[in-house]
């Protein structure tokens, strides 16, 4: 699995799509391209309408893609975990099943479940490569923080349950063991982090040669490292190589920022600024050759 991280507008979707198209078209690999940006542009880049489940992309040899929107994510969360959450909560409190909708609307539920879906696709093993186009950096890092906090707090939840276990056994009305469910959720969260920190996952940061992008990229690298996720390389997009005199000052600024990048990142790929948008098969294949991943 390969993921692309960075602030909005730096070219994560372009890099993700180009790599996916290159691997499927030139290396004949079965590739799943997944975007979890809640305002996705992947359909536009591939020039096709995508669905919320893996679908073969028309006009491409061996490429599958999907876009996840928040409504779909929450529906899947309720289908997968709704009844389990209700079983646990109803062991503590007298609630009805409408409580599931209340929990589904809680902050972080959609983000947390996105990682579960990613993990599920990874475990199924039906693809030679999974390319993950992450949302803008703040949302992506929040997603990781929520997941980490989830399994850390699960330990406290289990301890609390053990203290209340005798009382709960007397008031429980369902055939349910909340302790086992909570333990299973914690194990799942740990497995998701193990996947992201494993050798089977390669994370790349996409940036532009600007000071703001540099600072954000450095922060992303530090955050990912704190979660045990290795950054394999940096892609600097939209670099001005040979431009007219009026843009010379911008180019000098870009060169200065690239010097800073070189101090903080071991592996850099610099992609020149392109005059046209990267849309469609041929443009993506051309961009793929610049990536050298």
**Tens digits of residue pLDDT in 26-40:** 999 999 999 987 677
Mean pLDDT over 279-291 rounds to 93
Q: Are 32 and 131 in contact (CB under 8 A)?
A: yes
Q: Are 17 and 284 in contact (CB under 8 A)?
A: yes
Cβ contacts of residue 1 below 8 Å, gap of 6+?
A: 118, 122, 129, 130, 131, 132, 195, 200, 201, 202
The fourth-level CATH superfamily of domain 2-291 is P-loop containing nucleotide triphosphate hydrolases (3.40.50.300)
Q: Taking Cα atoms as reference points, which of 122, 80, 120 lies closest to residue 103?
A: 80
Mean pLDDT over 265-282 rounds to 90
3-state SS, residue 19: helix
Residue 203 phi/psi, 5-degree rounding, is -105, 135
Sign of CA dihedral 182, 188, 189, 190: positive
pLDDT at residue 178 is higher than 70: no
Determine which of 67-71, 75-79, 86-90 has the lowest per-residue pLDDT on average. 86-90
* C-alpha to C-alpha distance for 96 and 102, rounded to whole angstroms: 11
Q: Pick the more confident residue, 180 or 118.
A: 118
270, exposed or middle or buried, with CB in 10 Å at 0-12, 13-18, 19+?
middle
**In percent, how much of the chain has pLDDT > 90?**
45
Q: Please, what is the average pLDDT of the chain? A: 83
Predicted pLDDT of residue 171: 46
Structure tokens at 60: 């491409």
Determine which of 4-18, 96-110, 161-175, 223-237 has the lowest per-residue pLDDT on average. 161-175
Predicted pLDDT of residue 63: 97
The domain limits of the chain are 2-291
pLDDT at residue 289 is higher than 80: yes
Sign of CA dihedral 257, 262, 267, 268: positive
pLDDT at residue 116 is higher than 70: yes
Q: Pick the more confident residue, 32 or 191.
A: 32
Predicted pLDDT of residue 16: 96
Determine which of 76-90, 169-183, 187-201 has the lowest per-residue pLDDT on average. 169-183
Q: Are 231 and 196 in contact (CB under 8 A)?
A: no
Mean pLDDT over 128-132 rounds to 96
**In percent, how much of the chain has pLDDT > 70?**
77
3-state SS, residue 197: coil
* C-alpha to C-alpha distance for 76 and 85, rounded to whole angstroms: 14
């Amino acid at each position: 699995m390969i993921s692309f991280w960075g602030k909005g507008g730096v070219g994560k979707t372009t890099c993700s799509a180009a790599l996916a198209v290159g691997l499927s078209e030139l290396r004949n690999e079965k590739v799943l391209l997944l975007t979890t940006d809640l305002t996705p542009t992947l359909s536009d880049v591939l020039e096709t309408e995508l669905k919320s489940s893996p679908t073969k992309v028309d006009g491409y040899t061996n490429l599958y893609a999907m876009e996840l929107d928040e409504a779909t994510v929450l529906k899947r969360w309720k289908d997968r975990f709704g009844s389990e959450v209700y079983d646990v909560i109803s062991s503590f409190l007298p609630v009805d099943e409408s409580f599931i909708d209340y929990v589904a609307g809680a902050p972080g539920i959609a983000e947390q479940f996105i990682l579960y879906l990613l993990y599920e696709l990874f475990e199924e093993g039906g693809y030679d490569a999974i390319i993950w186009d992450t949302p803008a950096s703040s949302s992506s890092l929040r997603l990781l923080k929520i997941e980490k906090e989830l399994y850390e707090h699960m330990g406290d939840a289990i301890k609390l349950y053990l203290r209340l276990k005798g009382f709960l056994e007397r008031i429980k009305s369902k055939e349910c063991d909340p302790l086992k469910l909570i333990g299973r959720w914690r194990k799942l969260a740990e497995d998701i982090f193990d996947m992201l920190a494993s050798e089977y996952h390669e994370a790349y940061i996409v940036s532009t040669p600007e000071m703001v992008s540099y600072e954000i990229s450095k922060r992303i690298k530090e955050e990912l490292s704190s979660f045990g996720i290795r950054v394999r390389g940096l892609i600097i997009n939209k670099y001005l190589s040979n431009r007219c005199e009026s843009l010379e000052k911008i180019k000098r600024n870009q060169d200065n920022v690239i010097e800073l990048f070189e101090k903080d990142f071991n592996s850099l790929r610099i992609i020149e600024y392109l005059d046209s948008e990267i849309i469609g098969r041929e443009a993506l294949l051309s961009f793929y050759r610049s990536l050298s991943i």
